[in-house]
Amino acid sequence: MKKEYLLTPGPTPVPDAVRLAEAQPIIHHRTAEHAEIFRRVSENLKLIFKTKNVVLTFASSGTGAMEGAIINTLSQGDKALVIRGGKFGERWAEICEVYGVRVIPVDVEWGDTAKPQVIEDCLNKEPDIKAVFTTLCETSTGTLSPIKEYGEIIKKRDNTLLVVDAISGLGACDIEVDNWNVDICVSGSQKGLMLPPGLAFASVNEKTWKFAETSNLPKYYFDWKKAKKSLETKGQTPYTPAISLVIALDQSLKMLKEEGIDNVLKRHNRLADATRAGIKALGLELLSKYPANAVTAVKVPDGIDGLELKKILDNKYGVKVAGGQAHLKGKIFRIAHLGYMGTFDIITAISAVEMTLKDMGHPVEIGKGVKSAEEILRG
């Protein structure tokens, strides 16, 4: 028996109560029973996004909501500023390019993020930029972006939207969609919402719906106006929803609501702090200049083979962490503290890392990382 521990930034562990909700007998989606559930999850999602505006739900992975954010607001030839400091920033640019949206990139080193002043300068130079695309937590580097500061800049511009990928960030890193002037915020189910993958979300404000009126990019399955209308008039989706996942979402939102979203965020902050302390106590370095509370990216120390480290963590200890992507492959590993996680998930992670490093002959004092983590986790 090899007991396994999933410590990846998506999918994240799904609580038993959520898995059992998902396994309930299926119900029909054009019924009052389903409409009641769908309206309730749509309302409860607003608490997580901290918005009064509509939150749409789609049967797709998070990328579907990213594509939706572009095709429902922009037109061919429009200019979009895209902040790229990792794989998911790059994805915004890739989707824009597919649709003939002109990308103005702001490239930063992986692990860094764009200074608000840089964004403001770009917008001043090219005032016809229609949207700024960024990430709350760039999953590939564990980096937090200053969304609130971006919002301060963009809110003054009627012709520019702030669009945030909060796929791995939501429910772990604070985002106040309305107070911070985020026009579109997209997310997915398999992260802070403690569900399997298969649902995507988008909070959409009034400013955005004005853009939707003029957008001429083609859309059908991801047509947001249709989704809004169907939700508001009937408590439904235009096309068959992923019913079992919606029912599971109802359960996970109930749990998050009971804990309270700000307590959920505090828990993530505590777990992230403990992880960072444990890692540093082992003499390792973090990749990110602005570490997010969803996932911690750790530089593989010199002389250690990062792929081998990940393999030992998995094969010997049953601990699944994520590796590095693109040019960071083998150079970093990433420990998630995201979703259904508590004190001993962090102890497990740090303990596994220190034992593995010792196994690999790295000069590390085992127990030292766990001790540092415990000091924070007790508090």
Task: Please report, as ranges, the residues that interact with a second copy according to CB under 8 A.
Answer: 4, 6, 8, 10-14, 19-20, 22-29, 31, 59-64, 67, 94-95, 98-100, 188, 190, 196-198, 217-222, 239-245, 320
Q: How many residues does the chain have?
A: 379
Q: How far is the CB of 316 from a second copy (least distance, A)?
A: 16
- Interstrand relation of 199-204 and 54-59 (parallel, antiparallel or unpaired): antiparallel
Q: How far is the CB of 233 from a second copy (least distance, A)?
A: 16
Q: Is the Cβ of residue 190 or residue 372 nearer to a second copy in the bound state?
A: 190
Q: How far apart are CA 123 and CA 63, in angstroms?
A: 26
Q: Is the Cβ of residue 266 or residue 320 nearer to a second copy in the bound state?
A: 320
- Structural tokens at position 211: 């853009």
Q: Is the Cβ of residue 83 or residue 95 nearer to a second copy in the bound state?
A: 95
Q: How far is the CB of 322 from a second copy (least distance, A)?
A: 8
DSSP letter string over 207-265? HHHHHHHH--S--STT-HHHHHHHHHHHS--SS---HHHHHHHHHHHHHHHHH-HHHHH
Q: Is the Cβ of residue 63 or residue 269 nearer to a second copy in the bound state?
A: 63
Q: Is the Cβ of residue 24 or residue 179 nearer to a second copy in the bound state?
A: 24
Q: How far is the CB of 318 from a second copy (least distance, A)?
A: 12
Q: How far is the CB of 288 from a second copy (least distance, A)?
A: 21
Q: How far is the CB of 60 from a second copy (least distance, A)?
A: 5
Q: Is the Cβ of residue 71 or residue 287 nearer to a second copy in the bound state?
A: 71
Q: Give the three-class secondary structure for 164.
A: strand
Q: Is the Cβ of residue 51 or residue 251 nearer to a second copy in the bound state?
A: 251
Q: How far apart are CA 48 and CA 257, in angstroms?
A: 8
The amino acid that residue 355 corresponds to is: M
- Structural tokens at position 328: 């960071």
Q: How far is the CB of 333 from a second copy (least distance, A)?
A: 14
Distances (CA, A) of 89 to 253, 274, 308: 28, 27, 28
Chain CA centroid to CA 366, Å:
32
- Structural tokens at position 309: 């480290």
